[in-house]
A and B are shown apart, each in its own frame.
Chain A
């Protein structure tokens, strides 16, 4: 059965894409398991969209190969793929149900069946009364929902979403997250790119971090977190003394707290050194690093600066 090879929905090997003198993607290899929610993370311009467009067959790689649902030519699997591009596109004069049916028809769904499913999907998403209204009359959020419904109307086995949360308000972002979870529960493979770490952290089982066209990390979310040591937050009564030698050189102070990575020996030697050194511990917390911290560490400080403001989202 196509797509079942080694349980992988997508297998990409050393994908390279050059635009003239610029190398946008530089040897990306991915192995995305069937039925998983896979996040493609990276700062703007990292090469996420170019990688996805190569996986979809919109553009061909300069070198390297890809196997999508078991097929070397992605367009041969187009009927089993749903794709939401980063730049949303709908015909403004088309009615919402026709737009969904049209997107289904492009993927091989008969138009009548597409309209029937479109009516049901729109009603399910509280847009039933907009089914026969032109897209131009819909709000941006509604239009994005319509396009998303067009992405899944033909019941694909693989859904690729490029920056699906961009431009959505918090309520619609939560709805989209729920929709992704719901689709994933049916066994569909979902790949989405984002530069907002929080979504990936909540949704993904596996991620790949792309920076400057290369895969900087590929694995489970907890593996990414495990790349960093736990963070210690320490507040003491004493300001100086022998206990200071227990604190690593790279520590920083935040609001009267020392913040540093847990030393390789673990918490017990640290605690002993602090107590024996007369630190007078007021509070001591050991925190597991988040995906954002892992991302910062993996993708580098330059990416972190770009992502800083997005973390709050």
Chain B
């Protein structure tokens, strides 16, 4: 067994050096910037489009007092429900020909007026095609009602005790957020990294180095070495990304990382479990993808395999996401038991459930499946690629 791990280490060291000491690794480290940049650009564009197209503008024809009352009432509603989807009010002085003014305003391209409110607070009338938009009418009814109530509608003020112990409702909500965030990060990182494993053996196969390796060490050791090399490289990248992410949160978010929702098992253990489950998730998918990718003989075949592999991961993420909020449900337990969704389900559980024994069981269960997949993959490689039939029981590791 010592020789097995020494052989795996030789492969891992070669692959790790070849990966980390290449210029391409710097590009790899920048990878998370791209989704962030894309996300930033697209959210900015969509926000601008939304602000232009989706926030309905209502023209208010009336005297200044009525308009001011309506504007104040709108601000009050905006504080409660948010400004994004609330109607925008624009005031206009009444003209002699009200019908003509209404027609003119409704035809105005800038601002794109959806409706015209006239008649003041006493006898409000709304003109415009609003048959399919009950929301706007409802908002206007609320705003007018508040405007009519005036000072009486002012929000009551009461003291808020910030230091009171957190309610179970708030805590559950926060922990669900933590679970979702952790699960999503785990999924995205694994998605980014594990498909790389698909092409791990192409280099050896195309360079014919595989023959030299297969004659010197057990195929299982090569698989383990390759997988752990990529795991080491990805954990190195993960540490860089986590450091940069923490710094970013520290600068961007008031109060820094301390304001993030607290997981059920506490931050130190949660972070440790995050690294372990990332490793397990990566190793499980990596072992499966290494096995699949080892069957490919060209880079083109690997590319063809990448898309279904990615979809499979998305499907399993969806399966694991069902456990968030209720880890002890049938779906939650099924996601924790199924090997390829288990790490994602368990990290969500770590955020929501303080018990530790399920994690010990989960990690052991996942480790068994990593070994099984690797062993099966090595056997398959020997059988289909090296054209050798297995002559030993599949569960015996590292034997020639």
Contact = CB atoms under 8 A, between A and B. Distances in A.
Interface of A: 19, 53, 56-60, 62, 73-76, 78, 81, 83, 85, 87-94, 102-103, 105-108, 111, 147, 150
B18 A62 contact: no
A75 B382 contact: no
Interface string B201-238: 00110011111111111100000000000000000000
B102 interface: no
A245 to B, nearest CB: 57
Contacts of A107: 216
B214 A58 contact: yes
B212 A83 contact: yes
A85 B212 contact: yes
Most buried by B among A56, A58, A89: A58
A103 B212 contact: yes
A313 to B, nearest CB: 23
A103 B209 CA distance: 10
Contact of B208 (A19, A78, A88, A103): A88
Contacts of A76: 400
Interface in B356-400: 382, 386-391, 399-400
B400 A83 contact: no
B6 interface: yes
Given A75-B400, A89-B207, A58 B10 contact: no
B3 interface: yes
B217 A59 contact: no
Contacts of B386: 58-59
A93 B208 CA distance: 14
Given A91-B18, A91-B207, A106-B7, A58 B399 contact: no
Interface of B: 3, 6-7, 10, 13-14, 18, 22, 203-204, 207-218, 382, 386-391, 399-400
18 contacts: A57-B215, A58-B215, A58-B386, A59-B386, A59-B388, A73-B400, A75-B218, A78-B216, A83-B212, A89-B204, A91-B18, A91-B203, A91-B209, A94-B18, A106-B7, A106-B216, A111-B10, A150-B212
A53 to B, nearest CB: 8
A106 B332 CA distance: 44
Given A93-B18, A106-B10, A85 B208 contact: yes
Given A76-B400, A105-B10, A92 B207 contact: yes
* Ranked 6 nearest A-B pairs via Cβ: A75-B400, A89-B208, A59-B388, A73-B400, A106-B216, A89-B209
B217 A78 contact: yes
Given A58-B386, A60-B388, A75 B217 contact: yes
A301 to B, nearest CB: 30
Nearest to A99: B209
A85 B211 contact: yes
A276 to B, nearest CB: 64
B10 A87 contact: no
Contact of A59 (B6, B13, B212, B382): B382
Given A74-B400, A102-B10, A60 B216 contact: no
Nearest to A50: B387
A111 B6 CA distance: 12
Given A73-B399, A75-B218, A106-B217, A87 B390 contact: no
Nearest to B14: A102
A74 B208 CA distance: 21
A150 to B, nearest CB: 8
Contacts of A60: 382, 388-391
B297 to A, nearest CB: 14
Nearest to B212: A89
B10 A83 contact: no
Most buried by B among A59, A75, A91, A107: A75
A102 B16 CA distance: 13
A52 to B, nearest CB: 9
A153 to B, nearest CB: 12
A87 B211 contact: yes
A105 B386 CA distance: 22
A108 B3 contact: yes
A78 B14 CA distance: 19
A87 B207 CA distance: 9
Nearest to B399: A73
B196 to A, nearest CB: 17
B213 A106 contact: yes
A126 to B, nearest CB: 24
B208 to A, nearest CB: 3
Contact of B215 (A19, A56, A91, A94): A56
Most buried by B among A56, A76, A105: A105
Given A89-B210, A90-B209, 14 more contacts: A53-B215, A58-B388, A60-B388, A60-B389, A83-B212, A83-B216, A89-B204, A89-B209, A89-B212, A91-B203, A94-B18, A106-B10, A111-B13, A147-B212
A268 to B, nearest CB: 55
B57 to A, nearest CB: 62
A107 B388 CA distance: 22
A91 B13 CA distance: 14
Nearest to A87: B208
B26 to A, nearest CB: 16
Nearest to B213: A106
A90 B210 CA distance: 9
B319 to A, nearest CB: 39
A94 B203 CA distance: 12
A281 B298 CA distance: 67
